[in-house]
Structure 1
Amino acid sequence: MLGLSVAALTGYLAAIVVLMITPGPDMMFVLANATRYGARSGVVAALGVAAGEAVHVAAVVGGLATLISASPVLFTAIRWAGAAYLIVLGIRAARHRDPVTATGPDHGASPGRAFLRGLATNLLNPKMILFSVAFLPQFVDPGAGNATAQLVLLGALFVAVQLAVDVTLGAGAGRLARRLADRRWSRRINRVCAVAFVALGVRLALG
């Protein structure tokens, strides 16, 4: 497989599995969507997050991510945009009274909206840019063939593992939330999601 050894690929997969099960903005967003709007919304949000990571991988392959990470002004602008976005999501979560049982077109549960929010959550996290630049190239073996092809393969594996983990979490959390759905549980979900998003936004803003 492009000259990469089985041991190297096994080590890489083990590393990204550990990274994927570590809570972060992407996982929190998927879980929040699943618990507030159901399993379908959680799965679609996971697809949006995976699409965002695919963009990061493409940026690494094209060299764009290196340029962004080397520009303090651009990197800071992305960081603040991401922080503001998460805080806005937290405020909106706090303002919704009963999202799990709500009906109607404007309660954030549409697949398109869940996908776009998942995409934005990932793209506006500058730490994903740094991570992609610092992590993926470590596993490239110059003696194993085309470096660009190796980066594409490693990036594709990363996105696949991330998608598998997030889809599993989103589907499971959504089903659990539906079984426990009542007004008190819904309000608690709102409060937890609101606090989590605002905390993640503040953490991102502070770097």
Structure 2
Amino acid sequence: MLGLSAATLAGYLAAIAVLMITPGPDMMFVLANATRYGTRAGVIAALGVAAGEAVHVAAVVGGLAAVVTASPVLFATIRWAGAAYLIFLGIRALRDGRATAATAAERNSRGGGAFLRGLVTNLLNPKMILFSVAFLPQFVSPATGDVTAQLVLLGAIFVAVQLTVDVTLGAGAGRFAGRVTDGRWSRRISRICAVAFIALGVRLATSG
């Protein structure tokens, strides 16, 4: 398939599976939206995250990601912006965790903005840039086919798998939260996500 052997694809899917079970900002964001604002918000957040990853893949194909990683100033700017945004999300989730259950109107209004917030969360994660630049090319073989086509295929597979996992997580968490009528479970998850966001933001800000 476009120069990719069955063994290469199998190894690639195995590597993706390991990455998907490791909690990160994207997964926490989807979970936080689903538990607080319902299934619809969780699914929309997952779509936003997937759109962000699609942009990263396009940047790799176009060579832009390599330019970003080669510029210490630009990369540091993205890193600091990403750290600040994660801490902002943590503070917001902490505030939500102290609030009462979201009303239907609030669920709709927050759900509608979940796509953009998911997109920004992914785009401002410099580790996704590094991942895209360092990970995808490992499975490309210039000797067996067009490099660009292989990168597009690998990127599309990654986005599809990530979207499937995040949509499943968002839908499941949203449905479960909807059955807990007192809202205590969703508030607890919001607090857990808040701590995770802030910790991830601090870690990103202090990492090299």
TM range (shorter): over 0.9
- How far did residue 108 of structure 1 move? 5.5
| Residue in structure 1 matched with residue 202 of structure 2 by the alignment | 202
| Residue in structure 2 matched with residue 109 of structure 1 by the alignment | 110
Deviates more, 1:54-63 or 1:6-15: 6-15
**What residue ranges of structure 1 are gaps of 5+ in the alignment?**
none
Is the Cα–Cα contact under 8 Å of residues 36 and 99 in structure 1 kept in the other structure? no
| Residue in structure 2 matched with residue 120 of structure 1 by the alignment | 120
Distance 2:106 2:34 in 1: 17
Is the Cα–Cα contact under 8 Å of residues 53 and 123 in structure 2 kept in the other structure? yes
Q: Normalising by the residue count of structure 1, what TM-score does the alignment of the two structures yield?
A: 0.94
| Residue in structure 2 matched with residue 30 of structure 1 by the alignment | 30
- How far did residue 62 of structure 1 move? 0.5
Deviates more, 1:94-103 or 1:46-55: 94-103
- How far did residue 173 of structure 1 move? 0.8
Distance 1:95 1:66 in 2: 38
Distance 1:171 1:185 in 2: 16
Name the CA shift for 1:99/1:10 in 2 (closer, same or farther; >3 Å): farther
Name the CA shift for 1:142/1:40 in 2 (closer, same or farther; >3 Å): same
2:123 counterpart of 1:153? no
Name the CA shift for 1:21/1:186 in 2 (closer, same or farther; >3 Å): closer
1:80-116 CA-to-partner distances (Å, cap 9, x unmatched) read 10111111111122223436433435885232x1000
1:162-203 CA-to-partner distances (Å, cap 9, x unmatched) read 101111111111111111231433432332222121111111
- How far did residue 40 of structure 1 move? 1.0
Alignment of 1:164-175 (within 5 A): 164-175=164-175
Is the Cα–Cα contact under 8 Å of residues 44 and 111 in structure 2 kept in the other structure? no
Is the Cα–Cα contact under 8 Å of residues 36 and 187 in structure 2 kept in the other structure? no
Deviates more, 1:61-70 or 1:179-188: 179-188
Distance 1:21 1:38 in 2: 22
| Residue in structure 2 matched with residue 177 of structure 1 by the alignment | 177
2:57 counterpart of 1:62? no
Name the CA shift for 1:205/1:89 in 2 (closer, same or farther; >3 Å): same
- Cα RMSD of the aligned pairs, angstroms, is 1.6
| Residue in structure 1 matched with residue 99 of structure 2 by the alignment | 98
| Residue in structure 1 matched with residue 74 of structure 2 by the alignment | 74
Is the Cα–Cα contact under 8 Å of residues 69 and 129 in structure 2 kept in the other structure? yes
Q: Normalising by the residue count of structure 2, what TM-score does the alignment of the two structures yield?
A: 0.93
The alignment partner of 1:104 has SS state of helix
Q: Identity of counterpart residues, as a percentage?
A: 76
1:33-53 CA-to-partner distances (Å, cap 9, x unmatched) read 111111111111000000000
| Residue in structure 2 matched with residue 49 of structure 1 by the alignment | 49
Aligned AA for 1:164? T
The alignment partner of 2:105 has SS state of coil
- How far did residue 68 of structure 1 move? 0.3
Distance 1:93 1:107 in 2: 17
Is the Cα–Cα contact under 8 Å of residues 45 and 115 in structure 2 kept in the other structure? yes
